[in-house]
Amino acid sequence: MEKKVKLLLGLHSHQPVGNFDFVFEDAYQKSYLPFMEVTRNYPDFKFTLHFTGALWEFFEERHPEFIDLVGEMLARGQIELVISGFYEPVLASIPERDRKLQIKKAMDYIRKRFGERPRGLWLTERVYEGDVLKTLVDMNLAYVVVDDYHFLQAGVEQNRLFGYFLTEFEGKKIAVFPINQNLRYLVPFHRVDEVIEYLQWIRDNAGGDGAIIFDDGEKFGVWPGTYDWVYKKGWLKDFIERILSSDFVETVTYSEYLKTHKPQGRVYLPSSSYFEMGEWSLPAGVAVRFSDFVENLRKNNLFEENRMFVKGGIWKNFLVKYSEANYMHKKMLLVSGFVNDFKGRRRKEAEEHLLKAQANDAYWHGVFGGLYLPHLRRAIYENLLKAERIVKRKAFIRDDIDADGFDEVYMQNGRIGIGITSKDGTVYELSLLSLGVNLQDTLTRRFEHYHRNVKVKREGEDNAGTKSIHELERYVTPEVKREMVYDWYERRSFIFHILPQDTSVENLRYMDFREYGDFVNMPYTMRSDESRFAVSLHRKGGIYKEDSKREFEITKKVILDGNTIYFKVKNAKDLEGLTGGIEFNLHFVKPLFVVGNKELKGQDTMFHEKSASSLMIKDDFLGAEIEFVCSKECDVMLYPVYTLSQSEAGMDMVYQGSSIVFVYPLSYREFNITLKMEGKDA
């Protein structure tokens, strides 16, 4: 009897917590709905489906008829539903107690809504670590889906990756399915004939009969060019009809395959994700070398046969690569501990905010915007701060919170939260708890390894890209190219500069200035006073000018009192001929800047106001109103900070915040700034 290939088609569909409503709706109209409308006409075409919690909530609110359609197809046995953590966290990045909450919430939703108990789990971003396995077996899941690349790294030969394997934790077993990379790249981008030819190859050559694919549902309509290709030009309809008319392919769900097939063997997998993630998670300079290395292997026809020996970084490298992601992650762990210790009546509400804040997208960056998208980071902080406000009315913590070897102090009084680090004597969090807004949520301008391939598009040029988002040409205008500036220090606040007197706001914006002191990016001695909610930072440093060093020392103080923060800088001695600059980097959405007699609106605002003593900023979108008041007249310089990041559509220039620098003569022995913060319901 001729071998039949079992096609296990799985679709994973997801939108991040905090994404724009129009993005949800666009994905629904272009991908989720048309896919189901086409497939419902072919009851014998079986597949497996996964929607994340944010999408189920969207369907419940906006399109309950879609849930009815899913229920109809589920009832007739055409589809199987699998789960992930409800809000799509990277399970390896959150505490085990929270993993179980996320999985249980997803299980409960499917059980209550459809009367089914899900047996399988889509592992978010296929980030596999050994300790996650314990959670999966404890939750009595039957199988999990990862990439074939995981198996190759474990030494499993490619020809065996056409079925499932068993792994175990303390004797508790779970099935592991390897997603076929070739199918992941063929479907739906290549002609149906090419897919059929590959399925024939599996029939004739593979050591198993499983053609396993589980990939993004957004590839069927949302990715560039796919809506026309998949639906208007009929790729999906043609694909289904060709599969159903085939005499050697049969579609099955993952659970059906488990019932009828024995495992290919036993396996123990390394910490890993899909191959591309390994490149993205490396530091930019190393990522350049890695991509060159892989390209060299490809040119010499050595890559495919040696792919199992080629590995980049792991997902947690993003917490090293991006300090902002790391602090957001450590803030999440901090709040998770607060929530876990809380026994009050609003615990469930706090848990819900915490689980939403664990959505993975804003914690990393690859081909999609992720960390570079402020609205996604804003949603993380909003939920973290709302959870914190419920369970922790007051806090003063001194510890190495972000695991970098330096102490931080985090203090909050129920209204304002502020984080200060001794690593460089700066402020890394500045939150209005009542609004759930962290104004310090900015992003440093960094070199990314894909920046080296960015090309300038001249007016009138036609630079069409290719079909795959992994191969799109990266073109920008000359104006955008100018914003490809890289910061040599992190964009936090209460940064102390020593600058030449003629430094302009343009010099600051484009990193074209001389720094005379060594008070940026250098450690400070920290003292903390919990009774006064005060922190003192001291540094003995130097001024480097005309090839000589002059000793200089400063003390910085931060005091939190109600809705007011006092920032104080004191020099050990007068210094003529140079200026000090105190820099804040804050994020706004719809800011109005009031300085002197001027009112200026918008994220792209830039100015240099001389002889000023205050700056007020209102943001009606956030509901925030803040005012800086200086102890002496100074120059106020303000400019926008933009980053250039890749996305599925090409290159995006994104506003990350506004840099505010108060410039004053260092003949002042003391210079103080009072920051008053108010929050109204946005």
- Distances 582 to 427, 604, 607, 662 between C-alpha atoms, Å: 12, 21, 16, 5
CA 296 vs CA 101, 106, 313, 464, 472: distances in Å: 45, 44, 19, 26, 20
d(CA 137, CA 682): 43
Residue 107 Cα to chain centre, angstroms: 25
The answer to whether residues 129 and 269 touch, using CB atoms and an 8 Å cutoff, is no
Backbone angles phi, psi at 227, to 5 degrees: -65, -50
DSSP 356-392: HTT-SGGG--SSS-GGG-HHHHHHHHHHHHHHHHHH-
Element (H, E) at 652: strand 650-665
d(CA 481, CA 478): 5
Catalytic residue among 216, 241, 256, 652: 216
Of 98, 125, 361, 609, the active-site residue reads 125
Q: How far is CA 586 from each of CA 325, 346, 491, 601, 661, rounded to the nearest angstrom?
A: 16, 31, 9, 15, 11
Residue pair 145/122 in contact by the 8 Å Cβ criterion: yes
Number of H helices, E strands in the chain: 21, 28
Q: Which two tokens stand for residue 8?
A: 């296990």
What is the helix (H) or strand (E) element at residue 321, kind and residue range?
helix 318-321
User: Strand locations in 448-590, DSSP E?
Assistant: 455-456, 475-476, 495-499, 525-529, 534-545, 548-561, 564-571, 579-586
- Can you tell me the distance from the alpha carbon of 384 to that of 296, in angstroms, rounded to the nearest whole number? 44
Strand partners, 671: 569
| Closest to 558 in 3D by CA, of 524, 521, 519, 515 | 524
Round to whole Å and give the CA distance between 340 and 360: 20
Whether residue 125 lies in the annotated active site: yes
Q: What are phi and psi of 655, to 5 degrees?
A: -70, 125
Q: What is the residue whose two structure tokens read 């795959």?
A: 468
Please give the DSSP secondary-structure letter assigned to residue 533: T
425 burial level (CB within 10 Å; 0-12, 13-18, 19+):
buried
Residue 61: CB atoms within 10 A of its CB come to 10
Decide if 483 contacts 506 (C-beta within 8 A): no
Question: In degrees rounded to 5, what are phi and psi of residue 432?
Answer: -100, 105
Residues 153 and 311: their CA atoms lie apart, in Å, by: 8
- Residues with catalytic annotation? 125, 216
